[in-house]
Amino acid sequence: MRSRSYSPLTLCFTGFTWLTLASILGLAILIGLVRGTPLPSWIRALHVHAVLIGGVAQIILGGFLLLIAPPQSKVRMELDSHPITLLALNGGLVGMLVGFWLHHDLLVSIAGFVVIAGFLSAIRSLWARAQQVWNSSWSHSWYYALAFFGLVSGSICGELMALGIVPESYGYVRLAHIHLVVLGFVVLIIIGMIHHLLPIVWGTPHASPRLVQLTTTFLPIGVVVLIGGFLNSSVSVEMMAGAMLFVGVGLLAIHLFRTWLTSRHTGSAASDHLLVSTFFLLFTIILGVFVGANHLSDPPALPYGKLHLVAYTHMAFIGFIVNAIMGAFSYLIPVTLAANRVTSHKKRTLYLDQLTSMMNRWGSVQIATLSLGTMGLGILAALAWNVPLSSLYLQSALWTCLILLLTSYVLFSIKLSAIVAKQPEHLATHQMPPDELKLTA
């Protein structure tokens, strides 16, 4: 029998561990920035790559594998071992981080090739599974093909920089590297996941399949135009792309709201996180248009420093990406654990209800503190226009944001640990061997 110790669930939990460690490092970077003692630039490189490769990309790939096929399906059981993906992603990432620390570009590039091999291994598994289980909800294969192209091509741009192949156009390649991965892969995949997952959570079909089609058309085109605007240093093109993205995400929000109205669902941690993430994305796009408009004048109408960039990017990262991850985890992890641990449909339903109830506890507090902490970053940046960094107001805003964000993250982590530790009652009674209780997807 094929070993399933390297399951999609393992990818998700490993990614969440990286996300936690990278977030702690990010807090240290923010504290140093506000206190006027910024940390070295290579530490920022550690933070960014640990978040995107170890955390977000690994969680997305593992979550996508969980989402495509039901946990108990035959297709799922045949394709559940991913040792190359897990080892390549994490081993390559460790090599990259060591390379950044030692300022050793060759080590970074070699480790980067290992990471790309991990990405390709995961994409191959995803495509093999998708060909067998995709239905009308997943018929837009070109959309996901474009997203995976963004991941791989963005990673190749990183390799070009590490190897020093494009010194004369380094800035443009760096822009392509960042935006192909973040916009071309992360944003598109998460939006596709929200489209697919929320109707399942609500127990109702899409209210308007046509709106789904329009969204999945506008967004990729908007991403391509935006990246083209960045590469050509054209603010007008960037703003046009921002308008297209606004229309696409606006249609997404309208469609989700209409679908919610047709359901009888009263709300849960999963659906609330996913909805909040959508509105944060819409808000971030609006901010992006204003940032572009600010740069139409020379000098910019409003001064735009490093703290403002941190606040803007992390509104998108925390408000959109982290909310979406928490929402997907709140649904997918209980469903997967229940399917793996219980064979009887009736007992599985009871166990799933227990796990879901645990994930929903304190859900309002969890979502509110994460959202308020994220919005607080914007207030923090706005204060920097009017008061010095050493001001009591700015320092108080900083620690208030950190406390709110940590409250949500710790609360979610505790609940996630609790449902993993929660065994079905009949398994606990009969004390089954540990091998039968492994977390497999």
pLDDT in tens, 267-322: 789 999 999 999 999 999 888 888 878 777 777 777 777 888 888 888 889 999 99
Q: Which residue has the tokens 């460790």?
A: 94
pLDDT digits (tens, 9 = 90+) for 172-188: 788 888 889 998 999 99
Query: Is the model's pLDDT at 78 over the cut of 50?
Result: no
Distance of CA 395 to CAs 23, 298, 409, Å? 19, 31, 21
Distance CA 237, CA 232 (A): 9
Distance of CA 199 to CAs 37, 59, 62, 269, 304, Å? 47, 21, 20, 14, 40
The predicted pLDDT at position 318 comes to 92
Q: What is the mean pLDDT of residues 411-421?
A: 94
The predicted pLDDT at position 44 comes to 92
Distance CA 299, CA 327 (A): 41
pLDDT band at 136; cut points 50, 70, 90: very low
CA-nearest of 104, 189, 102 to 154 is: 189
Q: At 346, is the secondary structure helix, strand, or coil?
A: helix
pLDDT digits (tens, 9 = 90+) for 323-379: 999 999 999 999 989 888 888 888 888 999 999 999 999 989 999 999 999 999 888
Distance of CA 269 to CAs 48, 53, 123, 358, Å? 27, 26, 29, 10
Query: Is the model's pLDDT at 89 over the cut of 90?
Result: yes
Three-state SS string over 91-125 comes to HHHHHHHHHHHHCCHHHHHHHHHHHHHHHHHHHHH
The predicted pLDDT at position 187 comes to 92
CA-nearest of 354, 185, 341, 202 to 270 is: 202
Tokens representing 219 are 């967004």
Tokens representing 40 are 């070295």
pLDDT band at 407; cut points 50, 70, 90: very high
pLDDT digits (tens, 9 = 90+) for 45-77: 999 999 999 999 999 998 888 877 655 554 444
pLDDT digits (tens, 9 = 90+) for 204-231: 888 777 888 888 888 888 888 888 887 7
Query: Is the model's pLDDT at 253 over the cut of 80?
Result: yes
